[in-house]
């Protein structure tokens, strides 16, 4: 039975990846950091089928011990401080988690077992102020946030450990991917959740920042399949994973409100509080390498994604009432 260690298992992608690997017969070890209260909402349904272990990307000794004790065949490094605005207010901590955390884990692998296959969660945020449209593996990086800069470091240290020590280390340059499990602070979920609340009479507006920003939005379960495929190849490499379509935040609002029969312009309020010190205006990826080598293709369209998210929030709110916290 192959064994996989996932850092960031309590996050959106970690939870989908764990389910995906369990379905393929993997033994799954999930690393969580110590907190005073647990945050297992996304993994509760299959928690009894995985092993939860404590570790922290800030603490290299914990990573070495984990690898020594559990001897995984594959390590998926999904843990990060992943919210771009927080990276502007906590740039040093973001660098510790999202940049140096990658080196701590790679070096732990180098010390414990160089045969471990490693996946690094790189990001389209690395393209930032884009130097080419669409963006592909060879497009130069120009990050626009401390988060993007940290991910560039994480990307290059992954390439460096592959080239220096022969590790099977892959970097997946994933464009935005969303789902009903997306954190409430990210724009897609903020909108889908607000649409459901407005439709149910629980709210009467949603305050957003830059409506002109364009993203290449895909469906998270499709993207964790690409992560796994990268580690099943004969050679380690880096891949862009994207749908190839780009849509604005405004379009996301239109489709989401339309889906419940409401006019978005009556409910969306632009609030400069949500503008960023530097913005990524346009992302659209060219995933032809992933298609050619991994035979990967997205299965969910933009319109379907928006409807999946709105429907999930409507159902959850109808079942549980208004218990979800309001977010900024
Ligand atoms: P997410 O929902 O924010 O999950 C992040 C995970 O990292 C959580 O499980 C969190 O644990 C964990 N974590 C944070 N700091 C940690 C630390 N010091 N030690 C151990 N664990 C820590 O993110 P996601 O959307 O699933 O994304 C997964 C990865 O892909 C991230 O690296 C993200 O930057 C990257 N990425 C995401 C996208 C996207 O569109 N979703 C696109 C490209 C790249 P807690 O539960 O304890 O907070
Ligand atoms: N969060 C948020 N909240 N974003 C808003 C809002 C708002 O109220 N209004 C407009 N936006 C715009 C942001 O300015 C940004 O241009 C866009 O919506 C998307 O923002 P997020 O959903 O927060 O995602 P992101 O693109 O900054 O980052 C996500 O995708 C990256 C991949 O490109 C995160 O998942 C990163 O971890 C990931 O690497």
Q: Which 3 state secondary structure label does DSSP give 232? A: coil
β-strand pairing of 218-219 with 268-270: unpaired
The reported pLDDT for the residue numbered 305 is: 99
Break the chain into its structural domains and give their ranges: 3-177+219-241, 181-216+245-283+299-320
The reported pLDDT for the residue numbered 323 is: 52
The reported pLDDT for the residue numbered 324 is: 54
Tell me the DSSP string of 127-171.
T-S-SSSSB-TTSPP---SHHHHHHHHHHHHHHHHHHHH--EEEE
User: Does CATH number 2.30.30.230 belong to domain 181-216+245-283+299-320?
Assistant: no
CATH, range 3-177+219-241 = 3.40.50.720
Which residues sit with their C-beta closer than 6 Å to ligand 1?
7-8, 10-14, 33, 35, 39, 56-58, 78-82, 97, 121, 123, 174, 176-177, 183
Fold: same for 3-177+219-241 and 181-216+245-283+299-320: no
The reported pLDDT for the residue numbered 112 is: 98
Name the stretches of the chain with pLDDT < 50. Answer: 325-328
Residue nearest to atom 18 of ligand 2 (CA): 187
How many angstroms is it from 248 CA to the middle of ligand 1? Answer: 24
What are the angstrom distances between the C-alpha of 255 and each of 265, 282, 308? Answer: 12, 19, 11
Of the listed 26, 119, 147, 239, which one is catalytic? 147
Q: Model pTM?
A: 0.97
């Amino acid at each position: 039975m192959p064994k996989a260690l996932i850092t960031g298992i309590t996050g959106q992608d970690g939870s989908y990846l764990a389910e995906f690997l369990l379905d393929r017969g993997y033994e799954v070890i999930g690393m969580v950091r110590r907190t005073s209260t647990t945050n297992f909402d996304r993994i509760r349904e299959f928690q009894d089928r995985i092993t939860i272990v404590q570790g922290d990307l800030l603490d290299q000794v914990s990573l070495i011990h984990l690898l020594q004790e559990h001897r995984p065949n594959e390590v998926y490094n999904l843990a990060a401080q992943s919210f771009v605005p927080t990276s502007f207010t906590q740039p040093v901590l973001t660098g510790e988690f999202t940049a140096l955390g990658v080196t701590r884990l790679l070096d732990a692998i180098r010390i414990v077992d160089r045969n471990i296959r490693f996946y690094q969660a790189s990001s389209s945020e690395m393209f930032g102020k884009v130097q080419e449209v669409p963006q592909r593996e060879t497009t130069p990086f120009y990050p626009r946030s401390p988060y993007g800069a940290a991910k560039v470091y994480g990307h290059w240290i992954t390439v460096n450990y592959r080239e220096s020590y022969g590790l099977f280390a892959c970097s997946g340059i994933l464009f935005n991917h969303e789902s009903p499990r997306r954190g409430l602070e990210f724009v897609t979920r903020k909108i889908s959740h607000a649409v459901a609340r407005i439709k149910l009479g629980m709210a009467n507006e949603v305050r957003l920042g830059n409506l002109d920003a364009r993203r290449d939005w895909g469906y998270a379960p499709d993207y964790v399949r690409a992560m796994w495929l990268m580690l099943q190849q004969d050679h380690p490499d880096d891949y862009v994973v994207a749908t190839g379509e780009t849509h604005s935040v405004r379009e996301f609002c239109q489709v989401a409100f339309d889906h419940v029969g409401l006019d978005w312009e009556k409910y969306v309020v632009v609030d400069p509080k949500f503008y960023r010190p530097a913005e990524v205006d346009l992302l659209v990826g060219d995933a032809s390498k992933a298609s050619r080598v991994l035979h990967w293709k997205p299965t969910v369209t933009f319109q379907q994604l928006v409807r999946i998210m709105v429907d999930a929030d409507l159902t959850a709110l109808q079942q549980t009432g208004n218990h979800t916290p309001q977010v900024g």
